Every structure is written in C-alpha cells, then in structure tokens.
A and B are shown apart, each in its own frame.
Chain A
Amino acid sequence: MPRYTIYLLPSLTALFVWFCTYFELNTDFVVPTILFFMLTYGTFNFRRFSNVQKLIFIYVAFSALTEVFAYHLGLVYQNNHKASHFFCLIQTILYTGIYSYLLMPKKKYLYLLWFICALLLSVELLYSFVFRSVYVFPSLSIVLLCGFVLTLSLLQFRSMILFPVTEKLENQPVFWFNFGTLIAYSFGFFFLGFLSTTKNLPNEMYTIWWGTAIYLCACYFMSLYLDDQPTKPIV
C-alpha cells in the first residue's frame, strides 16, 4: 500500500465514524474491526517489532480484552465500569513502560517515572476500592492518567526535537504513537474536566470523544505498520 494513502488512515477513520454517527448509522462494528485488524497484523509481525512496538501491541491486546470483558459485564450485570477500572490500571503500567523505552531517561529519572507510576496506581486503587466504587465510572483515575500520559507525550515531542533522526517525520512510528496519544488524551482530559463541572454536555461531545478514541487506535495501527517498514531517510 502506498505510504501517502496510509497517512490519511487515522483521519479518514475518525471522519467515517463521525459521518455515520451524524446520519445515525450503526458504528458498533468500527472499534472491534480496528482492534481485530491490529491484533491480526500484530500477531503475525510480533517477532519483527521493536520492544516499544511490542508493548504497544500488548496495549492493543489489552484494549481488545477489555472491550470483550466490558461487553460481557454489560450483558450479565448491566454495568461495565469494572472493566474501565481494570483497564485504567493496565494503561498506567503500559504507558510508563512504553515511555521509559521511548524517552530513555537517566537512571534517576527512570526511577522517578516508575515512582510516579506506583503513586498513580495507588491513587487509582484507593479511588476504586476505598473512596469510590468499582461500579461507578472512574473519572478521577482517567483524568489523572490523562495528565500523566499527556506530560509524557509532550516530553517525548521535546526529546524528538532535541534528538532528531534522518527519517521523514511521517514515517516514524513514534510520531504517530505520540500524535494519537496527544490528541486522544488531551481531549479526554478536557472532556472529563467539563463532565465534572457540568452535566449538560452536548451529545456531540460524546461522539467526538469516541471519535478521538478511534483516532488513537488508528494512529497506533500506523505506528505498528510503520515499525515493520524499511526506513526512508530525508534527502
């Protein structure tokens, strides 16, 4: 597939979903389809992935598992928030792992990163089991996670500028991973912040949030796909 067509994949997917939602078409198949593609592609190419991409693939696999788990919980208990609590914990660990590979910090900063991760996990666990219930949506945990991931993503952008490589930006898996993360988590941060102050959010906001989640998936797919491709340096 020519590269220039695949660059448009995340935007086209998100646009397609928003289009379907606008015309009230069923879009339930989109997320499972993307996850299925990513899982299939990742499983066959897992050995060829770099360590970071292996972690990203594990993240995708957990997303898929959570989707199934949430679906099952919804069917049986009519409440699937347990899945969100579980996935929030997993996300915290995986993002710390991924960014500790990407940022390659000095030892003391690496310890600091994992210390913050441990702190965040403790807060999330306390929030889930002590201050709130696992049957309620973990908005505070997700807001904290968004803040954490956004900071790491911005640090990664800084690191990319400080230590550039000769490969074109659009061909770099790390760019797509970081780009998707920045878009989805900044919107998530903003959305949940608003949700806590007002209950009168327009329905479109939910659609956009969902769209950014799909955009995130598509960007991660790009990241996995490009990791497997030969490099093309500038000039």
Chain B
Amino acid sequence: MTPVENVDIITTIVTGTLLFGLLSVFIIYFILLYRKSQTKLYFERERRKQELLRAEVEIKEQTLVNVSREIHDNLGQAAALVKINLNLVSKNISAEDQQKVEESIDLMKKLIGDMRSLSASLNGDTIRRKGIVAMLEQDVERINKLGYVEVKFYHPAEKITLDADQLVILYRMIQELFTNTLKYAKAKQIMLKLEETKENVMVTYTDDGIGFDFQEALNKGSGLTNIHDRCQLIGGELTFQSEENIGVQVHISLKKSNSL
C-alpha cells in the first residue's frame, strides 16, 4: 500500500468515526431534549386538568348552594306553612281526626328538620362555618336513622383545621363514599375515622360490603373517579383496598399546608 493510499484510509476511518460519534451524540441529545419537552407537556396537561377540575368543582358547589337555598327558602317555607295550617285545623276537629293531624304535624316537623339538615349539608358555606366534624355527625345520624346500615364515626374532640376549600372537597368526598356504600356495597357497618396531626388530616373509611375491583370501577367512570380527581385537586393521597365479600377500606391523607 502506497503512503497516499495509507493517508486516504486513515482520513476515511477518522472521518467515519467522527461522523458516527456525531450521530450518536446527536441522537442522545435529541432523546434528552425530547424527554424534557415531554415532561413539560405532561406538567402543562396536568395543570390544565387541575384548572378544569377546579372549575368543575366550583360549578358543582354553586349548583349545590342553589339547590340548598331552594330547599331552605321554598320547600322549607311551604312545609312550615303546612305545619302551621295543620296546627290551626287540629283545634276544630274531632278527637279521632285530631290524632291523625298530630301525627301529620310530627311528620312535618321531621320533614322540616331533615330538609334543614340536607340544605345545610349541601351548602358549602355551612360546612365552612360549622366544620367537617359537625356536618359529618349530622350525616351519620341521618344515615343511621334510615336503618339500612350502622355508621360508627370516630373523630378528634377539637375542630379540624383545614383550608376552607379543602374542607368542602374532603366533605364531598366522604359524602360520595357514603353514597357508594349505600348504593352498591350491601354493607351492614361503616366505620369512619377522622384523625389530625400537625401537618396532616387522615380519613379512614371502612365498610363490610361486597367490595369491588378498583381499576374496573375507575374505568367505568363512577363516583370513584370523582373521589380520585377531587383528592388530586386538593393534593391528597388516596388509597383503596377492596376484596370481594370483605369490603372496602379507603384511606385519604391530606397535607394541611396545601391550598387550592
């Protein structure tokens, strides 16, 4: 091989190696850049999702406030008027009819009481004012009165301190859990435990119902999705444990410092 040929070969090899080196660097750099822009996209999507969720929650809350006001102002007033009329009527009738009217008056009193409590539980402002424990106590009492299921509620003696929006959303999540158990679980007992530490508020919810497959239920888009999304919105951690015929255990852990 002549020296010229030798130089040609060396130049080719060096340049070829450089080319492949450059290509490798380019590809690695591209992959890193692409991952970075994918992460950016992911966070952007998450942010939009959160905003959408927040708007959705606000709209739902506003609707609930409207329904609550309607129950309190219109239905409540009408029921109160019926009660007054029944009181008036009861004075001028026979003893036999009087007993029936008094029964009706008692029923009306109960109806008005239930409506007030329902109206209060639907209104976010009441939840903020009274606190989550008082509201849940009302709900537990109402569910226990139904007689289908027994609810045991354990909570700290002091009022739980949480950001106002977190409080409402957490309360709605627990309401959703109650609804799910009453609708589908065929449970006999529910245990709800509320705990508070310096930094966290923890909720443990257990029922002894028929249980369900969490992933399947989540895909179906049931109330579970609502709970899951709301928990994400307030920066909470949600864990579900469920086995067929054993029941469900839900654990929600919420950091106090998070705010919407």
Binding site for B on A (CB under 8 A): 157, 160-162, 164-166, 169, 179, 182-183, 186-187, 190, 194, 198, 200-202, 205, 208, 234-235
Name B37's closest neighbour in chain A (CB-CB).
A164
| B33 touching A190, Cβ below 8 Å | no
Q: A161-B37, A164-B40, A194-B12 given. 19 additional CB < 8 A pairs?
A: A157-B30, A160-B34, A161-B33, A161-B34, A164-B37, A166-B41, A166-B45, A182-B23, A183-B23, A190-B15, A194-B15, A198-B11, A200-B8, A200-B9, A201-B8, A202-B13, A205-B12, A208-B16, A234-B38
- B19 is an interface residue with CB less than 8 A from chain A: yes
- Chain B residues with Cβ under 8 A from A166's Cβ? 38, 41-42, 45
- B89 is an interface residue with CB less than 8 A from chain A: no
- In the bound assembly, the distance between CA atoms of A165 and B44 in angstroms comes to 12
B71 to chain A, nearest CB (A): 43
- In the bound assembly, the distance between CA atoms of A169 and B39 in angstroms comes to 12
| A202 touching B37, Cβ below 8 Å | no
- Chain B residues with Cβ under 8 A from A164's Cβ? 34, 37-38, 40-41
- Which of B4, B19, B30, B41 is within 8 Å of A187, CB to CB? B19
- B82 is an interface residue with CB less than 8 A from chain A: no
- Which of B12, B19, B27, B45 is within 8 Å of A202, CB to CB? B12
Known A169-B31, A169-B34, A179-B27; contact A234-B42, beta-carbon cutoff 8 A:
yes
User: Which among B12, B34, B41 has the highest number of chain A CB atoms within 10 Å?
Assistant: B12
Name B31's closest neighbour in chain A (CB-CB).
A169
B17 to chain A, nearest CB (A): 11
B18 to chain A, nearest CB (A): 9
B37 to chain A, nearest CB (A): 4
Q: Is the interface of B mostly helix, strand, loop or mixed?
A: helix
- Chain B residues with Cβ under 8 A from A235's Cβ? 42
| A198 touching B33, Cβ below 8 Å | no
- B216 is an interface residue with CB less than 8 A from chain A: no
A22 to chain B, nearest CB (A): 16
A221 to chain B, nearest CB (A): 19
B2 to chain A, nearest CB (A): 9
- In the bound assembly, the distance between CA atoms of A193 and B120 in angstroms comes to 82
Would you list the 10 A-B pairs with minimal beta carbon distance, nearest first?
Answer: A200-B8, A164-B37, A200-B5, A198-B8, A164-B38, A164-B41, A190-B19, A161-B33, A202-B9, A161-B37
6 A-B pairs with CB atoms under 8 Å apart are A157-B30, A166-B45, A179-B27, A187-B19, A200-B8, A205-B12
- Chain A residues with Cβ under 8 A from B23's Cβ? 182-183, 186
Known A166-B41, A183-B23, A200-B9; contact A190-B16, beta-carbon cutoff 8 A:
yes
Name A160's closest neighbour in chain B (CB-CB).
B34
| A201 touching B12, Cβ below 8 Å | yes
A122 to chain B, nearest CB (A): 30
- Chain B residues with Cβ under 8 A from A205's Cβ? 12, 16
- Chain A residues with Cβ under 8 A from B37's Cβ? 161-162, 164
A157 to chain B, nearest CB (A): 6
- Chain B residues with Cβ under 8 A from A161's Cβ? 30, 33-34, 37
- Chain B residues with Cβ under 8 A from A208's Cβ? 16
- In the bound assembly, the distance between CA atoms of A234 and B35 in angstroms comes to 10
